[in-house]
Amino acid sequence: MSRFLVTGAAGFIGRHLCNYLRNRKHEVWALTRRPEEGPWDQAFCCDLGSAPLPDGLMDGVDGIFHLANIAHTNLTGKEAECYWSVNVAGTEALLMAAANANVARFVYFSSVKAVADPGGECVDETWEPVPKDLYGYSKRMAEQRVLAAGVKTGMHVCNLRPALVYGPGVKGNLFRMLQAVKRGRFPPLPDFGNRRSMVSLDDLITAAGLAMENPKANGRTYIVEDGQGYSTRMLYEAMCKEFGVPVSRWHIPEHVLCMGAVIGDWIGKLFKCNMPLNSAVLSRLMSSACYRSDRIRNELGWLSQNTFFDGLPDMVDRVEDSSDS
């Protein structure tokens, strides 16, 4: 039995990771922003980056899975300082406390957003351009702190860069798309031919376990994705079939979508609101975000066991349950 600390334990990934660890008879300590019930043996509360770490947090801890962060949202102005205080300074504080307590291992959950968007290419970890947005930049800076701490202290450290994570209880844009398709409100888009990488929750957690335990992971950064390339149209059709919603035989022409996005930008600026369709939304729907995880497969022997289509029934069930409640 090992004792593991999971930060951000109450989140979508964190709860599943805690379950995974407890099912393997490990002791799980959780760090959350506020008091939460969950699959852990002991819980601590802290607003990471703005409050001191709780006393005793590192006592007897063998390894840390660090998930707590400010997620990918469009914070601006003074609010954007949270990216640095939580994602970078908060990570530094954990690393320092871990080193002082002789914690042996530290796995950081970063993101493929820690590098600039690859455009139409499909890239691996050798793709190094720094992202322009504040969220991605903060994740990249946190990664650098993690690797530097490993060099300085001898701690086993590893960065994971998951692509978009899917699974039961998924939130964010993917959940909103599921809701829109269920209600018949998602527009029948053309097939843009885009490729977006994703990874299942279960496969990501398996990768995290390998990153924690395998000595070959020390000092490494790994992209984690399931080896598929999903277009927006492909996801839309699969969701329709799972919900029992007819797949539209027609689609909105691309030039009409572009015109609608411009109108959405104009209305959004005029009324200071976010429109369902604007240039940013359309860009996400049309663009590619393709990554390769050859490194973790070759070095750690990790293999993805799932695809989005395998996990879709459970996601649909959760959306149905949330609609009924």
Half-sphere exposure of 104 (CA within 13 A, CB side): 11
Q: Which helix (H) or strand (E) holds 180?
A: helix 172-182
pLDDT of 102 > 90? The answer is: yes
Q: What is the pLDDT of residue 321?
A: 75
Place of tokens 């043996």: 41
Question: What is the C-alpha to C-alpha distance for residues 28 and 13, in angstroms, rounded to an integer?
Answer: 14
Q: What is the pLDDT of residue 118?
A: 95
Nearest in space to 42 (alpha carbons), one of 12, 98, 3? 3
Q: What is the pLDDT of residue 186?
A: 92
SS3 325: coil
SS3 79: helix
Q: What is the pLDDT of residue 71?
A: 82
Contacts of 216 (CB under 8 A, 6+ apart): 299, 300
Question: What is the C-alpha to C-alpha distance for residues 122 and 99, in angstroms, rounded to an integer?
Answer: 36
pLDDT bucket at 76, cuts 50 / 70 / 90: confident
Q: Distances from the Cα of 286 to the Cαs of 60, 193, 210, 251, 322, in angstroms?
A: 48, 8, 34, 14, 28
Write down the CATH superfamily of domain 3-162: NAD(P)-binding Rossmann-like Domain (3.40.50.720)
pLDDT bucket at 191, cuts 50 / 70 / 90: very high
pLDDT tens across 238-282, in order?
999 999 999 988 899 999 999 999 999 999 999 988 888 899 889
pLDDT of 325 > 60? The answer is: no
Asked if residue 128 lies in contact with residue 103, where contact means CB atoms within 8 angstroms, the answer is no
Nearest in space to 219 (alpha carbons), one of 155, 162, 267? 155
Place of tokens 């290419």: 121
pLDDT bucket at 73, cuts 50 / 70 / 90: low
Q: What is the pLDDT of residue 80?
A: 81
Asked if residue 182 lies in contact with residue 277, where contact means CB atoms within 8 angstroms, the answer is no
pLDDT tens across 26-60, in order?
999 999 999 999 999 999 999 998 899 999 999 99
Q: What is the pLDDT of residue 294?
A: 98
Asked if residue 18 lies in contact with residue 9, where contact means CB atoms within 8 angstroms, the answer is yes
Predicted TM-score (pTM) of the model is 0.94
pLDDT of 324 > 80? The answer is: no
pLDDT of 323 > 70? The answer is: no
Domain residues of the chain, as ranges?
3-162
Q: What is the pLDDT of residue 77?
A: 73
pLDDT tens across 168-181, in order?
999 988 999 999 99
Contacts of 157 (CB under 8 A, 6+ apart): 105, 106, 107, 108, 146, 147, 149, 150, 218, 219
Q: What is the pLDDT of residue 322?
A: 72
Token pair of 166, please?
A: 């899917």
25 phi, psi to nearest 5 deg: 70, 20
Place of tokens 């490494």: 220
pLDDT tens across 125-162, in order?
999 999 999 999 999 999 999 999 999 999 999 999 99
pLDDT tens across 200-235, in order?
999 999 999 999 999 999 999 999 999 999 999 999
Q: What is the pLDDT of residue 75?
A: 73
Question: What is the C-alpha to C-alpha distance for residues 252 and 236, in angstroms, rounded to an integer?
Answer: 14
